[in-house]
Structures are given as C-alpha cells and as structure tokens.
C-alpha cells in the first residue's frame, strides 16, 4: 500500500470529471451558496426577522454552508498537510463558537476556505447587488408599515432612524460596507459622478442615522479614493512590515485602553465619549468575565430590534474585544495572525485596493461588531480567491469575462 504523502495534492476524482465537463460549476455553486448565506444573515439583522421564522433563515444558512463545503471537497486542491490544517483550524473555531453560542466565525471560515479559485470581483458584485437590493426592499416594507421602521432619539433630541433594520448604527455600517464594496469593484478607479454619489450617500447616512463614527469612516474612504495614488505610494513606503506594526499597535492599544479604562482618566474618558461609551462597556466585559482559551457565553442586552427601554444595557461593540472575550484568546490570536498574514499577502501580490479595504475593515472593527459577519464584510474571502482582476483593472457591476 502506497504511504500517504503529506505534500502531495489531492482532489476529488468526481470533482475533476464535473469540472472538465462544466467548468463554470465550481464558481457558480460557490456564488449561489454565498448569495443564500448573506441573504439569510441580512434578514436576521432587519425587522423582517419578526415576520420570517428564525428556523427558515437558519436552514437557509445551513444549506449555504453545506453547499460551500461540498464545493471545497469536490473541486478544491490542497495537500494532505493543508487539508489537515484546514480541519484543525475549523475544529478550533467550531469549539470556540459553540462555547460562545455564536458560530458566525466558523461559518465565515467555511466560505474563506471554499472561495479557492473564485473570482473575487464576482464575489464583491454579488455582495453589492444582493445587499443593496435587500436594503431597498427593507426600506419599502418599512415605508408601507409591513415591518417596523424603528426610530430612536438621542439625549440632545436628535432623531435616529433604522428604516427597517434593527438599529441605526447597523444601517450606517451597511452603507459603509456597501460603499467599500463598490470601490473594491471599481478598483478605486472612480469618475466624478461616482464621487458625488459617495458624498450624497455619506451625508444621507449621517442625517438618517446620526452615527458619527461611520460618517468619519465614509468621509475618510472618499478622501482615500480621491487621493488613491498617493495612498498607494504611502503603503509602498511603509512596506508590509510597517503596516503590520501599525495594525498590531492599533489592536494592542484598543485592548490596553479598554482594560485600563477608568472614568477618572481624562484622556480615556474623552476617547470613550467619542466612541459612544464603547470603552466603558468593553471594560465591563473585562471586569465581569475572565479571558478564556476557547470562549464563553456572555449575556448581552442591546437596543437592537426594539425601542423599549433596556434595563442593564450591556453590549460589546468592538470586534477585537468581542472576539477575545466571547471566542477566547486562541481564536483572538488566530484572528490577529490572519489579519497580518492577509495584509502581507495583499502587499506582496500588489493588490493595493484590497489592502486599503482591509485597513478600513480593521479600523471599523475598532468601533463595531460586524467584522465576522459575511453580510457586512467580504474582504477575508480574498484569502484563497482569484485576485488576478485586481492587479490593474477597473470593473463594472455587470458580470462579464
């Protein structure tokens, strides 16, 4: 019997036969699975969840995950060593997600692995068209009062509207992620009307949701898009090592400032006010819970999905603190290493548009919890995807070879 070679590449013989006859099947099956998953997850983040039973969206997402797994097992090529690492990491992420009673990282991981050889520009197009269309339907349903269009007021009297989503800040994050997906699709090669559209979207988002942090991110994205060539020059000067140091320092800074936060510290208090209390509530997580190796369930009470008063409000918004406290230090370390690896990979392949997008996602993770939600953030899917179209080309929203 021939011994197993851990360096030899293995692929399903059935998958090879299918690919030889129908070359479009692997990519199409992945894109369909991706569409189903983000649709189901999107519904869970809107008031449509009150109308559609949770079991339906759950089974849609399960079907999508199984389709993605089938695509990987049938059509993807990996060595025995790589398959072993894939299954080992998947087991760790499943265990930590099971302890946290939240498996979003595990499901995202499935789609990262199964995206091998899928054109990432097509993934971005499916994301943009699906989420923008779903948002439009949600707005119309809220307008005609088929679902609740929640409204909230700040202490200063400013009104915030969710327009059928579960919370205004979630709506703002949706707009930011859509804008980011659009500039990814265009490879940051935009014309004047597109800049005007981005400015209009940014102002509208701020007026409707009154969300400062996403307004700042969207404004910064517009500026980076305008001065994209200069931005790329700065990235080249920094090199992948310099960018890794900046990203690592930012993550370390948010962890330490959260852990050592006290209301009596004027600097940290000012940062906390600017971040709408995120340091305070994240510090409560450190105060009330220990950091575990493989995660734990943390009871949280947020405003999303209701305008009723919430007693003992407590919610971890910062993605880094959320992963560390809920999913454990092992998953947190995996996440940080993954971010640094992906940044190095993008710089090494000279796909600077994706590097800029990754930096924006890393920044947004400082203030929101959506980094591992596939219906918000798609940049991690570029890990094994086909990136050839991002070297020098600009794209349209239409699907073409």
DSSP-assigned letters across all residues of 56-89:
HHHHHHHHHHHHHHHHHHHH--EEHHHHHHHHHH
Query: How high is the pLDDT of residue 307?
Result: 64
User: Do residues 161 and 254 share a domain?
Assistant: no
Mark which of 226, 247, 274 sits at the end of a domain.
226
User: Do residues 281 and 263 share a domain?
Assistant: yes
Structure tokens at 175: 């707009």
User: Do residues 186 and 298 share a domain?
Assistant: no
The whole-angstrom separation of Cα 78 and Cα 7 is: 9
Closest CA to 353 of 177, 123, 187, 238: 187
Structure tokens at 3: 């011994």
Query: How high is the pLDDT of residue 393?
Result: 55
In this structure, are residues 142 and 149 in contact, taking their beta carbons and an 8 Å threshold? yes
In this structure, are residues 389 and 121 in contact, taking their beta carbons and an 8 Å threshold? yes
Interstrand relation of 78-79 and 151-153 (parallel, antiparallel or unpaired): unpaired
**Residue-wise burial string across 161-180, b where 16 or more C-beta atoms lie within 10 A, e elsewhere:** bbbbbbbbbbbbbbbbbbbb
Range of the domain at 172: 148-226
Map tokens 């493989």 to a residue: 294
The whole-angstrom separation of Cα 147 and Cα 92 is: 38
Q: What is the pLDDT of residues 79-101, one digit of tens each?
A: 888 999 999 999 999 999 999 99
E strand or H helix at 363: helix 352-364
Structure tokens at 198: 């981005």
User: Do residues 232 and 218 share a domain?
Assistant: no
Any idea what DSSP says for residue 2? P
Domain presence at residue 310: yes
Alpha-carbon dihedral angle through residues 12, 18, 22, 27, given to the nearest 10 degrees: -40
Domain presence at residue 176: yes
The whole-angstrom separation of Cα 2 and Cα 247 is: 46
User: Do residues 267 and 295 share a domain?
Assistant: yes
Q: Which residues of the chain have pLDDT under 70?
A: 1-7, 307, 309, 392-401
Alpha carbon 292 to its chain's center = 24
Query: How high is the pLDDT of residue 351?
Result: 96
User: Do residues 153 and 172 share a domain?
Assistant: yes
Query: How high is the pLDDT of residue 369?
Result: 94
Map tokens 């949706």 to a residue: 174
Name residues whose C-beta falls within 8 Å of residue 28's C-beta, 6 or more positions apart in sequence.
Answer: none
Number of domains in the chain: 2
The whole-angstrom separation of Cα 368 and Cα 377 is: 12
Query: How high is the pLDDT of residue 301?
Result: 84
User: Do residues 237 and 197 share a domain?
Assistant: no
Structure tokens at 136: 């439009």
Query: How high is the pLDDT of residue 18?
Result: 85
The whole-angstrom separation of Cα 71 and Cα 33 is: 9
Any idea what DSSP says for residue 4? P
The whole-angstrom separation of Cα 390 and Cα 50 is: 40
Query: How high is the pLDDT of residue 398?
Result: 53
Mark which of 183, 207, 226 sits at the end of a domain.
226
User: Do residues 300 and 175 share a domain?
Assistant: no
The whole-angstrom separation of Cα 276 and Cα 158 is: 15
Residue 374's SS3 state is coil
Closest CA to 238 of 319, 346, 336, 334: 346
pTM, full prediction: 0.93
User: Do residues 201 and 237 share a domain?
Assistant: no
Query: How high is the pLDDT of residue 309?
Result: 66
User: Do residues 302 and 265 share a domain?
Assistant: yes
Domain presence at residue 237: yes
Name residues whose C-beta falls within 8 Å of residue 173's C-beta, 6 or more positions apart in sequence.
Answer: 214, 364, 368, 370, 376
User: Do residues 211 and 232 share a domain?
Assistant: no
The whole-angstrom separation of Cα 149 and Cα 199 is: 25
Domain presence at residue 387: no
Mark which of 226, 257, 275 sits at the end of a domain.
226
User: Do residues 271 and 332 share a domain?
Assistant: yes
Residue 128: Cβ-neighbour burial (10 angstroms; 0-12, 13-18, 19+): buried
């Amino acid at each position: 019997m021939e011994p197993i070679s851990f360096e030899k590449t293995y692929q399903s013989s059935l998958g090879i036969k299918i690919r030889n006859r129908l070359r479009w099947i692997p990519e199409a099956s992945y894109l369909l699975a991706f569409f189903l998953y983000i649709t189901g997850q999107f519904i869970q983040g809107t008031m449509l969840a009150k109308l559609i039973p949770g079991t339906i969206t759950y089974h849609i997402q399960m079907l999508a995950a199984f389709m993605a797994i089938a695509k990987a097992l049938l059509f993807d090529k990996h060595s025995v060593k790589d398959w072993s690492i894939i299954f080992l990491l998947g087991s760790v992420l499943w265990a930590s997600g099971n302890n946290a009673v939240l498996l979003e990282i595990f499901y995202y991981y499935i789609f990262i692995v199964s995206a091998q050889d899928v054109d990432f520009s097509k993934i971005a197009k499916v994301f943009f068209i699906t989420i923008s269309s779903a948002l439009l339907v949600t707005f119309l349903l809220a307008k005609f009062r088929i679902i609740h269009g929640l409204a909230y007021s700040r202490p200063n009297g400013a009104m915030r509207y969710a327009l059928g989503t579960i919370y205004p800040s979630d709506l703002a994050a949706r707009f930011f992620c859509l804008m980011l997906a659009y500039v990814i699709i265009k490879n940051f090669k935009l014309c004047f009307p597109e800049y005007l559209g981005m400015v209009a979207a940014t102002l509208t988002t701020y007026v409707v949701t009154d969300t400062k942090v996403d307004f700042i991110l969207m404004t910064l994205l517009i500026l980076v898009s305008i001065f994209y060539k200069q931005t790329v020059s700065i990235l080249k000067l920094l090199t992948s090592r310099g960018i890794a140091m900046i990203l690592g320092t930012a993550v370390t800074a948010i962890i330490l400032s959260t852990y050592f936060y006290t209301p009596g510290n004027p600097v940290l208090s000012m940062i906390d006010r600017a971040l709408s209390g995120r340091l305070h509530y994240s510090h409560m997580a450190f105060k009330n819970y220990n950091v575990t190796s493989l995660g734990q369930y943390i009871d949280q009470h947020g405003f999303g999905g209701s305008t009723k008063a919430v007693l003992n409000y407590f919610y971890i918004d910062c993605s880094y603190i959320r992963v560390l406290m809920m999913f454990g230090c092992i998953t947190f370390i995996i996440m940080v290493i993954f971010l640094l690896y992906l940044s190095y990979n993008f710089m090494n392949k000279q796909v600077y548009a994706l590097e800029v997008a990754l930096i924006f996602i890393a920044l947004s993770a400082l203030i929101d919890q959506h980094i591992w939600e596939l219906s918000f953030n798609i940049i991690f899917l570029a890990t094994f995807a086909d990136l050839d179209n991002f070297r020098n080309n600009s794209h349209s929203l239409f699907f073409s070879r």
